[in-house]
Amino acid sequence: MSVIKVAILGFGTVGEGFYRTIQSHAEELTAVLGKKVEVAAILIKNKQKERDINKDVLVTTEFTDILNLPQLDVVVEAIVDKDPTYIFLKKAIERGCHIITANKEMFAHYGQELLELAKEHHVSVGYEATVAGGIPVIQTLRQLLNVNRVQQVQGILNGTSNFILTEMREKKLSFAQALRAAQENGFAEADPTNDVEGFDAFYKAMILSRLAFGEEPNWHAVERLGITSITRELIDTAERLGLRFKHIASISKSSHQLKVSVKPVLVGNEHPLYHVEGVQNAVNISSDIVGQITLQGPGAGMYPTASAVIEDLVYVCQNRPESQGFLSTSETNTAIQDLEQKEETWLLAGLFNNAIDPSIKLIEHVEDGTWIATGKKGEIEALSTQNNELIFFPIIGEYEKEQISARVAL
């Protein structure tokens, strides 16, 4: 029987999980691919560290050792940094290998280049694990995009931030206490900036934007806000209103205008992401034929991510490169994020100055300094510059259409 030879770059959580899954699911892989899958080599940083790896596998600290293997079919990259991983994958493609990556930062920066290079060399690229861990959102979008026109993608794309917000609400913890719990459980790094400030979700949103709409916005124009300004008191106030804070990446396109944001918002219990708790990720896709679908599952971890990589292994070995890339678009990548012109519903906290723009309507007084209001984003931002204590969060979903009007009627 012929063999598919695989090299793994990195042997951390994702790399080791993938290696173990190849061992435990060898028969299933053979049945699907008609070939046996063998790990030929693993790239590591520290050769002195003991690892449970078969002796017939080349374990090396030099990528050139892997490139020089007599047979190499697939390179799986599971390293954190964007450099030099991009160079490694570029060289693997040029050698004629399929590539699979779980590296969202690298792929957000270089994904289009790698896809174009792969097409030139007639190989495939798998990147399911770059977004939402074990949730098959990339494959789902590929299938939907055969006929459906995607109108909006909303997602909770970072399990660490979602865990912190859940702990703050359920256990009445401060942000600092919930962050410490995330670190103690291994969900957050010692430096949690990428997670709590929204960079991790931002990279994933750029990948989804390119896949769903064929383009991405100017990165500097994207509204990216973290969750560090959310207090336990704000969460308690939201809960009394039937709302929950969620850190949501939103991507939509209408009238040739692409809008992308990554920020904390408030959702009511009718919103599909309301019940997504803990380290779970979820993605809600709206399209013109199927309507709305929501995918939910673990966003990180050894085996959920390994599941995405294994499915990508099957994908790259079975698909032509022409069918695996981002959408092409004839429009330029100069989409303007004109969010200031749409009237939205907001929770305003710290509003102690009554001199406000008359176009901002105060709908409901929640408690001292806290109101539910409607207004355009630009008007709310202008108000915040006049009142340094003011913080504001959009309310999205059915709450603003139904629950507020019901409460006001009472």
Read off the pLDDT of residues 152-201 as tens digits, 9 standing for 90 and up: 999 999 999 999 999 999 999 999 999 999 999 888 888 999 999 999 99
Q: How far is CA 263 from CA 192, 203, 362, in A?
A: 16, 13, 23
Question: Computed from CA positions of residues 90, 122, 303, 188, in that sequence, does the dihedral angle turn out positive or negative?
Answer: positive
Which segments of the chain belong to CATH 3.40.50.720?
A: 3-126
Q: What's the average model confidence in pLDDT over 87-107?
A: 96
Q: How confident is the model at residue 320 (pLDDT cuts 50, 70, 90)?
A: low
Whether residue 129 has pLDDT greater than 70: yes
- pLDDT tens by residue, 215-234: 999 999 999 999 999 999 99
Whether residue 64 has pLDDT greater than 80: yes
Helices (H), 152-268: 159-170, 175-184, 193-196, 199-213, 232-240
Measure CA of the first residue to CA of the last residue in the chain; give whole Å.
73
Give the whole-number percent of the chain exceeding pLDDT 90: 72
Lowest-pLDDT choice from 18-22, 137-141, 253-257, 319-323: 319-323
The answer as to CATH 3.40.50.720 being correct for domain 3-126 is yes
Which segments of the chain belong to CATH 3.30.360.10?
A: 137-298
The DSSP string of 65-84 is: HHHT-S---EEEE--SSSTT
Q: Which CATH superfamily is domain 137-298 in?
A: Dihydrodipicolinate Reductase; domain 2 (3.30.360.10)
Q: What's the average model confidence in pLDDT over 123-137?
A: 91
Residue 325 has what pLDDT? 59
What is the amino acid identity at position 114? L
Residue 208 has what pLDDT? 96
In sequence order, what are the beta bridge partners of 372?
347, 364
Token pair belonging to 216: 């991405």
Which segments of the chain belong to CATH 3.30.70?
A: 339-409
Q: Which residues contact 184 (CB under 8 A, 6 or more apart)?
A: none
Catalytic site positions: 204
How many residues are there in the chain?
410
CATH match for 339-409 among 3.30.40, 1.20.272, 1.10.3470, 3.30.70: 3.30.70
The one-character DSSP state at 11 is: -
- pLDDT tens by residue, 348-394: 999 876 668 888 999 889 998 999 999 999 999 999 888 888 999 99
Q: What's the average model confidence in pLDDT over 328-337?
A: 41
- Return the exposure string of 140-150: e unless at least 16 CB atoms fall within 10 Å of the residue's CB, then b: ebbebbeebeb
Residue 245 has what pLDDT? 98
Whether residue 323 has pLDDT greater than 60: no
The Cα 310–Cα 118 span in angstroms is: 19
Cα–Cα nearest to 344, from 309, 380, 317, 371 = 380
Q: How far is CA 74 from CA 3, 123, 323, 384, in A?
A: 11, 9, 18, 52
The mean of the pLDDT values for the chain is 89
Residue 331 has what pLDDT? 40
